[in-house]
């Protein structure tokens, strides 16, 4: 679970999706926008079009959330981001973690380390 200050409030998700920049892979899309806070905040979206079962959607959401939490210390401060799952993700954490890190690197949000 992401710490509360790093969670993007639901009323701000729409503005990030509308005005943010996008990077994507086949499975994930990352929409990001600069914010006015000293922290980076994230939200995660998995629609019912991906899988009708809530347990499957929640599992994908947890995998992506945990992979962002895993690299949270390396992410540059001052950004809002929304991870949107576009296709069913592989069940292994290492695969999802690699995808998330690749998106963050392409967006320029990961510090060089």
Q: What is the DSSP string of 43-73?
A: EEE--TTT-S-HHHHHHHHHHHHHHHHHTGG
Under the banding of pLDDT at 50, 70 and 90, the label for residue 111 is confident
Average pLDDT, the chain: 96
Under the banding of pLDDT at 50, 70 and 90, the label for residue 37 is very high
Please, what CATH class does the domain formed by 4-107 belong to?
alpha beta
Close Cβ partners of 60 (under 8 Å, ≥ 6 residues apart): 46, 50, 51, 85, 88, 89
Q: Does the structure show a pLDDT above 70 at 15?
A: yes
User: Any long-range contacts for 15-19 (C-beta under 8 Å, 24+ apart)?
Assistant: 16/43, 16/80, 16/81, 16/82, 17/82
Kindly report the number of other CB atoms within 10 A of residue 36's CB atom.
6
Q: Where are the domains of the chain?
A: 4-107
pTM: predicted TM-score of the whole model, two decimal places = 0.94
- Rounded to an integer, what distance in angstroms lies between the CA atom of residue 56 and that of residue 108? 30
Kindly report the number of other CB atoms within 10 A of residue 30's CB atom.
25
CA angle at 5 for the pair 92 and 23, rounded to the nearest 5°: 50
């Amino acid at each position: 679970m992401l710490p509360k200050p790093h969670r993007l409030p639901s009323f701000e998700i729409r503005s990030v999706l509308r005005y943010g920049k996008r990077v994507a892979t086949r499975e994930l899309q990352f929409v990001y926008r600069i914010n006015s806070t000293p922290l980076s905040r994230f939200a995660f979206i998995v629609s019912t079009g991906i899988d009708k079962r809530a347990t499957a959607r929640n599992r994908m959401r947890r995998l992506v959330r945990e992979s962002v939490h895993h690299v949270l210390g390396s992410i540059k401060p001052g950004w809002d981001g929304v991870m949107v799952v576009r296709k069913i993700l592989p069940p292994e954490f290492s695969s999802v973690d690699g995808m998330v890190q690749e998106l963050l690197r392409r967006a320029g949000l990961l510090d060089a380390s």
